[in-house]
Every structure is written in C-alpha cells, then in structure tokens.
C-alpha cells in the first residue's frame, strides 16, 4: 500500500485532515474487528426484532445487538474509545469540539466540550464529518470529535413501517432488481479528526454537500444533486473520477433512491468503479449510518478487502453499476468515496485517502 | 467568512397556512411560511443552502408518533415523511429552487447563530453562495420562527 498518504494534486496551503481514532458498535458487535469480520463474511446482520413488540408491524426484522443498549451510554463509550486510540490527553478531549449526529439533541452524553448536534436524517453524520474536516482544514480547530448514534427503537421503526419503507422480504438489496426497501440497524460510532497527524488511520481528502431542490422525500431522478456533491469532493481533493477506486454507496435498497443514486454515479463518471452498499449488511442506522460506512470503508481499505453488496438477486437496468458480488474484492483502494443521501434532497460525498 | 444579510423575517403569529402533505404539527408549515416571508423580499440565488435550526425539533410529530406506538396503533403514514426536518427543508428548496446543501441542527438554545456558523462553512467551502437559515421552536408557551437569507462576502 502506498505509504505516502498524498493524493496527486492535493490542495496545499490548508491543514491535512486525518482520522486518528475510530470506535464503532453495530449489530455485529462492539469494535472495529467485529464490524470488519461481519461485513467481510457477507452474511447480513438482520434478524427478528425482539427488543420491543413488533406484532402490529408489517415488517419485523432489523439488525440489532442483543438486549436494549442505551444510546447515551453507547455514545459515551465510543467517544472514549476513539479518543483513546487517538491518544488524546484529558485536556485535548475537553477542548475538542464535538459534532454529534442523532435524531434529537436529548440523546447527547453528558457534555464535556463544545457540541453541535446534526439532525439532518441520513446525511447527518456525513455532514458533521464534512463540517469537521472543513473546520480543521481552515485552521479553526486542531481536532474535532465526530460521533453519531441510532439504536433501533419502537417509534422510528413504527414510522418506517407505516411509510412502507421497510423491506417486506427481510433483506436489503441495493441496486438489485426486486429490491423492496431498507431495514433498520443499530449503529453507534465516533472518530477523531486531526490536523497533520503523525499516525493517520486514513485521510479525509475531500468533501461535498449539495441539494436536489426537488421533493420532500424523493431524490431528483437524474441524480444531479448527488453528482454535484461528488464533484465538489473530488475537486477539493484535487483528484479526478478516474482516481476513485471504490465507492461505498448510500444504497438504501429503495426502488427510486437506488436508481437516482446510480444515475448520480454515472453522471460523476463512477459507474465502472467497484461499488457496494454495506447497508445490505449492517442495516440503515439513520443519522449514524454515514459514520458507520466511513469507518467500514477505512477498515476495509486498510485490510485490502472490499465488502460485497449483499442481497443482490439480478441486475436492474436502471442501476448499471460495477457492483461487488459473490466474494469480497481484494484491493487496497487509494481513494475510496463514501456517498449518502437523505430526505429533502440532501446529498453528501466524502473522499478518503489511504494512509 | 463574513456574511451579509439580504433579507430577514420573523413570524408575526396567528394562523399558519397549511402545507399539503404535512399534518398535525405546525412545525413544517411554520418553517415554510417564515421562509416565504423572508424570500418574498428578494430573489435568492440557486446556489442557496437551506439550514433548519431547532432546539426542540418537531415535538408534536414526535408526540403523535409516541402516542400511536404506546396505544398499539399504526402511526399515520404522513407522519413518517415529516418526522425529520429535512422534509420541510426539501419542500422549501423545491418551492424556491434552492440547490445548495440541506443542513439541520439542534442547538441548546434558540438562536440563529449555529445556523449562521453552518452557513459560513458551506459558503467558505464553495458548496453554496447564500444560505437560508430558519430557526423554529415549539414549546408549551407557543411557537416561534425566524428566517434570514445571508450571502457570503468573498474578498
């Protein structure tokens, strides 16, 4: 693996932003090892929901840890673990801003530092990462802790079920013909982003955010909003579409959203790049999902094995992409890209650089 | 990044015009109305971000959902679509063709400032030229809403 950590033509005159600590909890268990092993197994983490009564729901499946984890406690744990890995002192932990992505502010752990809560649904965590990276790159902070969390609970489950957004065949099938929707999953994670560190786990080379200006919840079918977010991320990194060598897709498994995302990737020149949506494995963790996917991508990239796009039945002509199928793909990507979309036409793109 | 205010509006109280597709709660109609009061003063550029700031969030939709679940009833499907602030942000963005980023924040206190901070970030990064920042608060003493359209001042 290239150890230089420098992408071709990366922007100079700004601080380099890197991930120096990561911690994650999903239905696969607590810790990055459990998450990586889980996604690379190709076996999705979905099972019957036992955490609360789902007898009145059409769908009764999600990706959950055993028992009833308390979000506040899980957030506190991952924040501490990420800061431990980054070797932050007590003073650094106390002074670093905290950018948190969650459904509501009340889920915050006891505040130890200046905090902002992002509530923009399925792009909340990626928006937080983009803002944190921007803050550091422009010298407004030396480090920022980004944390995000969602644990499957009755209210959101009931809403998604009532909105007929959940997959009635108990599987998430991104970009596949016959896909029927999403399934929810536990996801709690934290990363530490720092300026110019000595031991980066990965670099955040580029970020982009754009809106569709189209609909309350449906994406613009031509994917133009997401394509603009991707373009902004690549320009910021000083790389071209030809340099991107893996895409961790939003890939919710929803019929319209996946087609729009495929259109976006084509418009951005990424339709032949290996792509997988790991929501097919760990589930849709709502506000936290982008951070789960960022950590998954860094872990997978550093291990040289890219996860499959699980649940795939057969190609959909509306989603002509290079989907990773069958076995994980052996590759050390130099520039993996993570993309996410949400209600309201919100779109984000994060470009990672290998360490 | 310094910002210049192009327009400002505060909801004066009274009836809020309903918005098709949004039910039960005043949160989203209020956001749409204060956005209208602001944007009718000027013509916003297309590269405008929509930033919703709300310490409370949509408490009425959350309560309606909680009550339905507690009563073992299915929540109304429309509650799903309006359960996150992105929904009304998307409505406003579509109505006024605002193609900048969509950002939703929940600060501790009812202030436009966190939204203006977010506006500075996206404008400085070049992801927007302007930002519509909307502050919405629902409480037992009543609703409040304020909106400001800001533009980045580039050197």
- Give per-residue pLDDT as tens, B67-106: 999 998 999 999 999 999 999 999 999 999 999 999 999 9
Q: Give the pLDDT confidence score for residue A228 in this predicted structure.
A: 98
DSSP state, A266? Answer: H
Which ipTM was obtained for this model?
0.97
Taking CB atoms and an 8 Å limit, are B104 and A155 in contact across chains? no
Taking CB atoms and an 8 Å limit, are B86 and A155 in contact across chains? no
Q: What is the average pLDDT score of chain A?
A: 94
Q: How confident is the model at residue B41 (pLDDT cuts 50, 70, 90)?
A: very high
Whether the CB of B91 is below 8 Å from some CB of chain A: the reply is yes
Chain A partners within 8 Å of B83 (Cβ) = 156, 159
Write the pLDDT tens digit of every residue in A44-97. 999 999 999 999 999 999 999 999 999 999 999 999 999 999 999 999 999 999
| Stretch (H or E) spanning A206 | strand A202-211
Residue A109 has pLDDT above 70, yes or no: no
Distance CA A140, CA A125 (A): 20
Residue A4 has pLDDT above 60, yes or no: no
Q: Are A101 and A147 in contact (CB under 8 A)?
A: yes
Residue A5 has pLDDT above 50, yes or no: no
Q: Give the pLDDT confidence score for residue B131 in this predicted structure.
A: 98
Q: How confident is the model at residue A2 (pLDDT cuts 50, 70, 90)?
A: very low
**Across A17-124, where does the E strand assignment appear?**
17-26, 29-30, 47-48, 61-62, 98-101, 115-118
| Backbone φ/ψ region at B52: left (φ over 0), alpha (ψ -120 to 50), beta | beta
Q: Give the pLDDT confidence score for residue A10 in this predicted structure.
A: 41
Beta bridge partners of A348: A209, A340
**Which residue, among B129, B106, B102, B131, has the nearest Cα to B116 in the 3D structure?**
B131
Q: How confident is the model at residue A257 (pLDDT cuts 50, 70, 90)?
A: very high
Q: Are A204 and A195 in contact (CB under 8 A)?
A: no
Phi, psi of B64 (to 5 degrees): -65, -40
Residue B122 has pLDDT above 50, yes or no: yes
Q: Give the pLDDT confidence score for residue A3 in this predicted structure.
A: 33
Chain A partners within 8 Å of B62 (Cβ) = 104, 155
Residue A250 has pLDDT above 80, yes or no: yes
For an interface test with A, the pick among B25, B56, B80 (most A C-beta atoms closer than 10 Å) comes out as B80
Joined tokens for residue B20: 């098709």
Residues listed for chain A: 355
Residue A284 has pLDDT above 60, yes or no: yes
Cβ neighbours, 10 Å, residue A110: 6
Global pTM value = 0.96
Q: Give the pLDDT confidence score for residue A123 in this predicted structure.
A: 98
**Which residue, among A143, A98, A138, A123, has the nearest Cα to B125 in the 3D structure?**
A138
In angstroms, the Cα distances linking A259 to A252, A316, B81 are 11, 9, 20
Q: Give the pLDDT confidence score for residue B155 in this predicted structure.
A: 81
Distance CA A300, CA A293 (A): 10
Lowest mean pLDDT among A46-50, A110-114, A318-322: A110-114
DSSP state, B24? Answer: S
Residue A214 has pLDDT above 60, yes or no: yes
């Amino acid at each position: 693996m290239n150890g230089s950590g420098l992408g071709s033509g990366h922007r100079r005159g700004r601080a380099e932003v890197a991930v120096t600590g990561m911690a994650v909890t999903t239905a696969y268990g607590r810790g990055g090892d459990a998450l990586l092993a889980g996604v690379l197994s190709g076996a999705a983490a979905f099972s019957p929901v036992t955490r609360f009564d789902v007898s009145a729901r059409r769908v009764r499946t999600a990706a959950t840890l055993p028992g009833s984890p308390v979000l506040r406690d899980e957030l506190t744990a991952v924040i501490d673990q990420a800061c431990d890995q980054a070797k932050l002192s007590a003073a650094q932990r106390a002074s670093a801003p905290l950018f948190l992505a969650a459904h509501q502010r009340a889920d915050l752990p006891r505040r130890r530092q200046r905090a902002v809560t992002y509530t923009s649904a399925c792009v909340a965590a990626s928006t937080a990462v983009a803002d944190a990276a921007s803050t550091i790159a422009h010298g407004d902070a030396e480090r920022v802790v980004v944390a995000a969390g969602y644990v499957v609970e009755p209210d959101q489950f009931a809403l998604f079920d009532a909105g007929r957004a959940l997959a009635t065949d108990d599987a998430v099938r991104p970009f596949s013909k016959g896909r029927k929707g999403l399934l929810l999953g536990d996801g709690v994670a934290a990363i530490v982003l720092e300026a110019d560190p000595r031991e980066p786990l990965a670099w955040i080379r580029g970020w982009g955010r754009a809106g569709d200006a189209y609909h309350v919840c449906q994406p613009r079918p031509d994917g133009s909003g997401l394509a603009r977010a991707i373009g902004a991320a690549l320009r910021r990194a000083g790389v071209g579409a030809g340099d991107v060598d893996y895409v961790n897709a939003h890939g919710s498994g929803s019929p319209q959203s996946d087609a729009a995302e495929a259109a976006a990737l084509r418009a951005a020149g990424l339709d032949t790049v290996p792509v997988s949506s790991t929501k097919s494995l760990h589930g849709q963790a709502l506000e936290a999902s982008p951070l789960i996917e960022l950590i998954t991508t860094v872990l997978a990239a550093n291990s040289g094995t890219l996860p499959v796009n699980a649940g795939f039945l057969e190609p959909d002509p509306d989603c002509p992409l290079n989907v990773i199928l069958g076995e994980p793909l052996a590759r050390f990507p130099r520039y993996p890209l993570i993309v996410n979309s949400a209600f309201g036409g919100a779109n984000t793109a994060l470009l990672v650089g290998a360490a | 990044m310094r910002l210049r205010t192009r327009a400002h509006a505060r909801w004066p109280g009274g009836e809020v015009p309903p918005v098709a597709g949004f039910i039960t709660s005043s949160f989203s109609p209020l956001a749409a109305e204060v956005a209208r009061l602001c944007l009718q003063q000027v013509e916003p550029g297309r590269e405008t971000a929509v930033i919703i700031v709300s310490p409370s969030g949509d408490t009425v939709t959350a309560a309606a959902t909680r009550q339905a679940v507690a009563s073992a009833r299915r929540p109304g499907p429309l509650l799903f679509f309006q359960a996150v602030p992105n929904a009304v942000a998307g409505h406003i963005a579509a109505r006024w063709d605002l193609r900048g980023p969509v950002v939703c924040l929940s600060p501790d206190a009812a202030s436009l400032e966190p939204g203006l901070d977010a506006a500075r970030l996206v404008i400085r990064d070049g992801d927007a030229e302007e930002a519509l920042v909307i502050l919405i608060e629902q409480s037992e003493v009543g609703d409040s809403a304020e909106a400001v359209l800001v533009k980045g001042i580039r050197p």
